[in-house]
């Protein structure tokens, strides 16, 4: 018999966070979170919960935990974007469709209680969290911002009547293909002169901090037209600065400003921390921090996290400056391969941007929807 219980204690929340460590034990593609940091992100005192309601559930079979899910309502999305939906996230379960159904039935119940029209997931609290169930690319290691799941996950949802909603692809490419695609130096020089733009140089991450809020503001402008985008709030910006800035080195950031010093484009990348997180196995102490530090200093693989271009400067080749800056720094650091973050299928502009570098489509992911 399967029993699903709503989490009521700190011990149960810790069980919620630790369940995937058991489920994926020995899997060489799954990348664990840092347990302490993930528990912190669920703290009800976090500002995100001013606009988000959430319930966490654990599924039990023979008194053993066999699955988990979070039922989420982002009220900014519901009230301002008029999307009458509940989200489901952090979905993990054994290969038993009855467990999957029992967990998702709780999300359905939550959505109906709030008079919403459908549920969709997997998604996080906001659009800055991980989203999309892996549907292709199960033999590739996950990135720090991408879910990994077993092949039976999407099969379960499809059997239960869930339909694909948003779709993403992810690219992998060799640095040499980027450098061979066009003369970045020549084109960048022409664009700098034509539009009176230039790159900023950062000596340390402290130099970057004054520009971070402006970057996120530009991100809101860049992606406002996409169907799944929810505007990023200031408290979320503050949260992600705290969460990710320690992992970023100025060599992995490109920032372009106009003649008045206003940011008109940026790109943020990071060396891959996936293998380092695997070695840390959920803990920074006693040696997890050392694996992360080593990944920062010695790495030949980079992950491309965010790119934003002011709509006024889109389709004007500004991206050439971003790629020039990053390519030159990557080459000095011995970077050989680059991997993108998940890219929405509908985002034609970003798809066209990457196609010129002869990329390999190595992962695909989807959210799934069920009408209530």
CA angle, residues 292, 329, 32, in degrees to nearest 5: 25
When pLDDT is cut at 50, 70 and 90, the band that residue 243 belongs to is low
Q: Residue range 12-24: average pLDDT?
A: 98
- In this structure, of 49-53, 151-155, 342-346, the range with the lowest mean pLDDT score is 342-346
Give the global pTM: 0.90
Round to whole Å and give the CA distance between 79 and 50.
14
Per-residue pLDDT reduced to its tens digit, 171-189: 999 888 776 556 778 888 8
- The domains found in the chain, sorted by start residue, are 2-170 (3.40.630.30), 172-364 (3.40.630.30)
Cis previous bond, 122, omega within 30: yes
Handedness of CA 162, 165, 166, 167 (dihedral sign): positive
Q: Residue range 299-319: average pLDDT?
A: 88
When pLDDT is cut at 50, 70 and 90, the band that residue 17 belongs to is very high
Handedness of CA 275, 332, 195, 349 (dihedral sign): negative
Q: Residue range 272-278: average pLDDT?
A: 93
Q: DSSP string of 68-130?
A: EEEEEEEHHHHHTS---EEEEEEEEE-S-HHHHHHHHHHHHHHHHHTT-SEEEES--SSTTS-
Tokens of 289: 């921090």
> Other CB atoms closer than 10 Å to residue 250's CB: what's the count?
17
Q: Residue range 95-116: average pLDDT?
A: 98
When pLDDT is cut at 50, 70 and 90, the band that residue 226 belongs to is low
Q: Residue 284 in contact with residue 293, Cβ under 8 Å?
A: no
Specify burial of residue 317 (Cβ count, 10 A radius: 0-12, 13-18, 19+). middle
Q: Considering the chain, what is the average pLDDT of its residues?
A: 89
pLDDT over 70 percentage in the chain: 93
Q: Produce one character per residue of 168-205: b if its CB has 16 or more CB atoms within 10 Å, e if not.
A: bbbbbbbbeebbeeeebeeebeebbeebebebbebeee
- In this structure, of 111-125, 151-165, 230-244, the range with the lowest mean pLDDT score is 230-244
For residues 281 and 307, the model is more confident at 281
Q: Is the pLDDT of residue 308 over 60?
A: yes
């Amino acid at each position: 018999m399967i029993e699903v219980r709503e989490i009521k204690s700190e011990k149960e929340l810790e069980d919620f966070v630790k369940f995937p460590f058991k489920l994926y034990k020995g899997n060489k593609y799954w990348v664990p979170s840092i347990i302490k940091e993930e528990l912190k992100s669920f703290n009800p005192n976090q500002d995100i919960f001013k606009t988000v309601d959430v319930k966490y559930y654990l599924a039990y079979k023979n008194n053993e935990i066999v699955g988990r899910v979070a039922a989420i309502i982002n009220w900014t999305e519901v009230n301002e974007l008029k999307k009458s939906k509940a989200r489901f996230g952090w979905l993990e379960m054994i290969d038993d469709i009855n467990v999957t159904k029992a967990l998702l039935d709780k999300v359905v119940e939550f959505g109906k209680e709030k008079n919403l029209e459908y549920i969709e997931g997997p998604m996080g609290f906001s659009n800055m969290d991980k989203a999309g169930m892996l549907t292709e690319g199960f033999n590739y290691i996950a990135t720090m911002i991408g879910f990994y799941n077993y092949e039976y996950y999407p099969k379960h949802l499809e059997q239960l009547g869930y339909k694909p909603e948003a779709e993403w692809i992810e690219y992998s490419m060799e640095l040499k293909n980027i450098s061979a695609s066009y003369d970045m130096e020549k084109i960048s020089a022409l664009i700098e002169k034509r539009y009176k733009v230039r790159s900023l140089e950062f000596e340390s991450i402290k130099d970057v901090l004054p520009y971070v809020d402006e970057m996120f503001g530009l991100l809101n402008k860049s992606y406002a037209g996409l169907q799944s985008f929810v505007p990023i709030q200031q408290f979320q910006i503050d949260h992600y600065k705290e969460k990710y800035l320690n992992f970023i080195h100025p060599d992995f950031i490109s920032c372009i400003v106009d003649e008045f010093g206003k940011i008109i484009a940026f790109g943020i990348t990071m060396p891959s921390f996936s293998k380092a997180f695997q070695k840390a196995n959920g803990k920074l102490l006693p040696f997890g921090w050392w694996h992360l530090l080593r990944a920062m200093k010695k790495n030949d693989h980079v992950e491309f996290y965010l790119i934003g271009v002011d709509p006024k400067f889109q389709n004007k080749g500004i991206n050439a400056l971003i790629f020039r800056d990053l390519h030159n720094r990557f080459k000095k650091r011995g970077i050989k391969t680059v991997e993108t973050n998940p890219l929405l299928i509908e985002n034609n502009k970003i798809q066209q941007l990457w196609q010129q570098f002869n990329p390999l489509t190595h992962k695909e992911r989807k959210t799934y929807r069920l009408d209530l």
